[in-house]
Each structure stands twice: as structure tokens, then as C-alpha cells.
Structure 1
Amino acid sequence: MQKKATSKWLYLLVLSLIWGTSFILIKKALIGLNAYQLGALRTLITGLFLFAAGYKKIRFIKKEQWKWIALSGFVGSFIPAFFFAIAETEIDSAVVSVLNSLVPLNTVLLGAAVFKIASTTRQVIGVVIGFIGTSILILEGADLNPNQNYWYAGFVIASTVMYAVNVNVIKRYLQDVKPLAIAVGNYVVIFIPALIVLFLTEFFTAENFNNPDIAKSIGYVTILAFFGTALAKVLFNTLVQISTPVFASSVTYIMPIVALIWGLLDGESFSWTQGLGTLVILFGVYLANRKAKKIRSV
């Protein structure tokens, strides 16, 4: 039991470092690629890594489980890959990372509304506080960066809802499926749609292959796909299975810290008011996830 408890915290820390770095990699990749090319390439390259590592694992997925594998693939990987890239065309990577910390709050909300997991008063208060912090972050960001379109924050918020759906689906319907099998199955489903999107973006043109910015961006996407998606996907699926959906989604506690450091090093602006909004969000997430203390009998 102690070993399992230690393992889940180790997974949480490693995932936070990997995913916290993902936001700056997306920003750098957007220099030579548009958001749709980035999302499609990220999905395709990740799929190739996963197929090479575990294509034999898909035989362990039962026929009746494929619908949940497909749902998990689209809401947990495919759509967010595009939405995060679209958001970062207008919003700083550090702000996007903070907004992503809404995942645990949405996990609580969806767990109660869709998966019939009871919510406590404390969790509801935590959700409210979290959204107050989100409002502070977005409004201050709009004032601080008037040239950025903060309506694009909606793409991040929508992605956090989809991630929350994915966490609950894995925990409830895919608990007995190996993490690598889930990841490979996800990309079996979404690989062809991603390839179609890439063709529609006219990526395969001669001028693109002679563009040094595109070559460099593909390098960033490859790093992002291997560490930020393929490896992290397997680690996250494992974390969900050895812990709880809410604990697993709490990876977003540490991610913003890592992403903020990268953003500031890259010259992004971040005000004290935005810092306050970040703390409010994280406090709301903490409150929503904190277990109630057991009352000892006398």
C-alpha cells in the first residue's frame, strides 16, 4: 500500500514536469505551423510512437470497450490537441497553462452531473472559487495584453471539460484495460481523422518542405508528441487506475508553475493580479479535492 502511495505521487510529479513544458513547445511549434497542422501532426506522430511501442496490446481490448476507447480518444487527445494550439495563437502559453488547472474542478462537476458521484458543499464552494479566479485571470490578461483575443480562452476551458470526461470514462469503464492498450486504442481511432485534417491544411507542399521554420517546428512537435502526449498518456492512464480521477486530474496543481517559468523565460508578461487569479484558482481546486477529515470516536 505504501509503495502504491509513493508511486502515484511520483507519477504526478513527472507528469506535471512533462505537461508543464508542453505549453512552451506548442508556442514554439506555432512559429512555422498553423494550429490545425500542429494538432494533426502531434496526433499522427504520437500515434506512430504508440503503435511501435504497443500495437500488440489492442488485442486485449474487448469489443464492447471500443466505444469508450473511441470517446476517450476524441475528448482526451484529438480535439484538445487542436484546441490548445488554437488558443495559443492568441493567448500566452503561461495563461493557457493556468486555465488548464480547471480540469479537477470540471472532474468534480461532471462526476456529480453525469457519473452520479456525489458532491459535497465544500466541493461546490471550491468550484465557485475556481471560476472566480478564472475570471480574474482572463479579465486582467485582456487588460495587460489588449492585442490578444481572450475569447480564445474558451478553447482551453472546453478542453478542460473534455479532459474531465476522459478521466471519468477511464476510471469507470476502462479500469481493467492496460494503460498502454488504452493509449494505443485511442490513436487507432483518431489517426485517420488526423491524417485527413493534415491533408486539408495543404501541409504536403514543396514550399513547406523547404521552409526552415517548418522543419524546426516539426522538431518541437516531435518532442511534444513523444514526451507530452505518447509517454504522458500512458503515465496518466496508469495514474488514473492506481489513484482516483480527482487525484489524477490534480496534476494541474504543479503544471502552471512549470509553464509560468518557461513563459517568463521566453519573455511573456504576467502581472501580480494574474498571479492572484492563479492562486485563487489553485485554492478552489484544492478545496474541491481535499478529503473531509474523519471524526474520531471517543
Structure 2
Amino acid sequence: MSTQAEQAPSAQTTLAGEIGLLLLLSLIWGSSFTLIKVAIPSIPPFTMVAVRVTLAAILLLLIATAQGHALPRQGPVWATLLVQGMLQSALPFTLISWGEAHITSGLAGVLNATPPMFVLAIALMTGRGRQAISGRKIVGVALGLTGVALTVGIDALSGIGTAASLAQTAVLGASLSYALAPLWGQRFKNLPAIVTAAGAMSCAAILMLPGAAMLERPWTLAPPPPEAIASVVTLAIVCTALAMVIYFRLIRTLGPLDTASGSYLRAGFAVMLGTTLLGERLTWSILAGMALVLAGVIMVTLPARHDQKPRG
């Protein structure tokens, strides 16, 4: 009896810690929309992403080496890491960066809040995914989407009809890529999170550097202003390197659908940061939307009651 009583608080504490990491990851990635918007006028998308993933890869490799981890040597493992680097970093980063050059960051945020819908659809069609799809999770997804719509606001959503359709499609394509990434990332559950992050980010850098060199010739560009440089460095260190370590941990602890649910909070945090840092107006719809977002994430993330009962 005492052992079971002691296990329950421990499990609850662990879950609370994982949800806290999900909140932190959402805040970090939510800030990326603002940082991209600051940098994109002077740093084109391929170059921005190439610098971002290369700096992040170097930092992650140094951390992995300092912790005594060795990178995989098997070719098949690197092939799967290459796919992970494309799905989680190279492709969505580029699509969002290019999209934000043509549409507002608020609209990009709401369009990029759709990965849980893609994850749910993929899980229902294929039966894959670590967590069972329950009615409560479906309701949580619906609440989250409603909250995102309220958070960003009707005015931003009405811009869908006037914004460049290719840019909207690009950001939705990034959402699909983000949905596929955690499902693919379950293949690395036997690797330390830092090794997976370092390997995948190194592959993303290998993919992006030639593209940036051929398409944008960054050495011919005018020197960007200090705020653009600072934005890209922050994107690399905080929004990419640190975020990847947290991300691969959450895939193993919360599962792909629960991890993807952070995209709702990502959009909410993007709007909140715009309000506090860029002087955007805080309205009742933003507050109500954030409440719905939090409720939706809780419903998607919390395990079912029968999963919480100790097994005898």
C-alpha cells in the first residue's frame, strides 16, 4: 500500500515536469516567429536557415562530445537522421521563413498551429503513434484550434483571402512536416536525446548549406543590421539547439501527439510576445483564446485514468 501511494505522487510530479518542458518549448518556438520577422527583410530564407541550423549543429555536437556521447557509425542510422533533419528543421524552417516574407507573422502562427490535426489524421489512417486516440484528445484538438483562432483574432484570419496563397500553402506544408517529424522521431528512442538532436541538425546543415550557396549566394548580400544578426543567433542557440534537446525528450516521454499539441501554445505565445515586445493590442479574444488553448493542451496531454492506476 505504501509503495503504491508513494508512486502516484512521483508519477504526477514527473508528468508536471514534462508539461512544464512542453510549455517552455512552446514559448521558445513561439518566439521564433518574431525573430524570423525581424531577420527576413535583410537575410533571405535559405541563408537564414542555413546559418541557423549550422550554428545549432555545431553547438549540439560540442555538447554531445562534452557529455561523452559518441555519434552513431551505422549508415542506416544516418539515413534516418537525414530524414529527421529534413522533416524537423530544414524543410519547415525554410517554408516558414519564406512564408513570413509574404504574410504576417500572426497568420503564419495560426496556420502553423495545425500539426496536431495532421498527427491525429495520420494516426487514425495508419494506426501509428504511441498514444491511443481517445474522444477526449479529439475534443482537446478542437478546443485548441478554437483557442488559436480566438488568440490570433478574426482580423488576422480574415487576411487569408488577401495574403499570397503560395505563402499560406508553404506554412501549412511546414505544419505537415512538423506532424510527420515526431512520428519518424520515435525511431531514435534508444539514442540519447542530445545525440539524436546533434545528428539530425548536422544533417539539416548538410542539406541547407549547398542550397543557400547556389540559390542566394550569401557572400554577395549587403551586411545585415545588428538586430537581424542577433535574431538569427538567438534562433540558432535557443530556438533550435536548446529546443531540439527538449523536443526529442518529449517525444519519448509524452509521445508524438502530445508533443505536437504544443503548436497551439506556440501560436499563443507568438501573439503574447507580439503584444509585449511589439506593442500589439491585448484584447479579450486573446485572453479567452489562451484559456481555450491551455484547456485543449491539458486534454490532449493528460493520460487516461486507467493509465494512472497502479498495476497490481
Give the TM interval when normalised to the shorter protein: 0.7 to 0.9
* Contact persistence 1:141–1:274 (CA under 8 A): no
* Contact persistence 1:98–1:256 (CA under 8 A): yes
Give the equivalent residue in structure 1 for 2:4: none
Give the equivalent residue in structure 1 for 2:110: 98
Q: Which runs of 5+ in 2 are unaligned?
A: 1-9
Equivalent of 2:54, from 44, 57, 60? 44
Equivalent of 1:167, from 177, 182, 190? 182
CA distance in 2, matches of 1:92, 1:80: 17
* Contact persistence 2:262–2:297 (CA under 8 A): no
Percentage of matched positions with identical amino acids: 23
CA distance in 1, matches of 2:153, 2:264: 18
Q: Which runs of 5+ in 1 are unaligned?
A: none
Q: What amino acid maps onto 2:241 in structure 1?
A: A
After superposition, the Cα gap between the structure-2 partners of 1:162 and 1:84, relative to the gap in structure 1 and judged at 3 Å, is same
The more displaced of 31-40 and 279-288 is 279-288
Equivalent of 1:107, from 112, 119, 131? 119
Q: Displacement, 1:188?
A: 2.6
**Residue 24 in 1 paired to residue 39 in 2?**
no
Alignment size in residue pairs = 291
What do residues 66-111 of structure 1 show as CA deviations (whole Å, max 9, x unaligned)? 3321211110111011011011112222332233222222222222
Give the equivalent residue in structure 2 for 1:180: 194
Give the equivalent residue in structure 1 for 2:237: 226
CA distance in 2, matches of 1:116, 1:126: 19
What do residues 223-247 of structure 1 show as CA deviations (whole Å, max 9, x unaligned)? 1110000110011111211222222
After superposition, the Cα gap between the structure-2 partners of 1:12 and 1:284, relative to the gap in structure 1 and judged at 3 Å, is closer
RMSD: 3.5
Q: What amino acid maps onto 1:203 in structure 2?
A: P
TM-score by length of 1: 0.80
After superposition, the Cα gap between the structure-2 partners of 1:271 and 1:140, relative to the gap in structure 1 and judged at 3 Å, is farther
The more displaced of 283-292 and 261-270 is 283-292
The more displaced of 257-266 and 78-87 is 257-266
Give the equivalent residue in structure 1 for 2:260: 249
* Contact persistence 1:140–1:273 (CA under 8 A): no
After superposition, the Cα gap between the structure-2 partners of 1:61 and 1:121, relative to the gap in structure 1 and judged at 3 Å, is farther
CA distance in 2, matches of 1:138, 1:114: 34
The more displaced of 249-258 and 60-69 is 60-69
Give the equivalent residue in structure 1 for 2:212: 198
Give the equivalent residue in structure 2 for 1:153: 168
CA distance in 2, matches of 1:125, 1:135: 15
The more displaced of 1-10 and 263-272 is 263-272
CA distance in 1, matches of 2:179, 2:135: 20
TM-score by length of 2: 0.77
CA distance in 2, matches of 1:274, 1:151: 27
Equivalent of 1:260, from 250, 267, 271? 271
After superposition, the Cα gap between the structure-2 partners of 1:281 and 1:159, relative to the gap in structure 1 and judged at 3 Å, is farther
* Contact persistence 1:91–1:150 (CA under 8 A): no
**Residue 77 in 1 paired to residue 89 in 2?**
yes
* Contact persistence 1:102–1:130 (CA under 8 A): no
After superposition, the Cα gap between the structure-2 partners of 1:130 and 1:5, relative to the gap in structure 1 and judged at 3 Å, is closer
Q: What amino acid maps onto 2:252 in structure 1?
A: Q
Q: Displacement, 1:129?
A: 7.5
After superposition, the Cα gap between the structure-2 partners of 1:59 and 1:292, relative to the gap in structure 1 and judged at 3 Å, is closer
After superposition, the Cα gap between the structure-2 partners of 1:212 and 1:289, relative to the gap in structure 1 and judged at 3 Å, is closer
After superposition, the Cα gap between the structure-2 partners of 1:45 and 1:81, relative to the gap in structure 1 and judged at 3 Å, is same
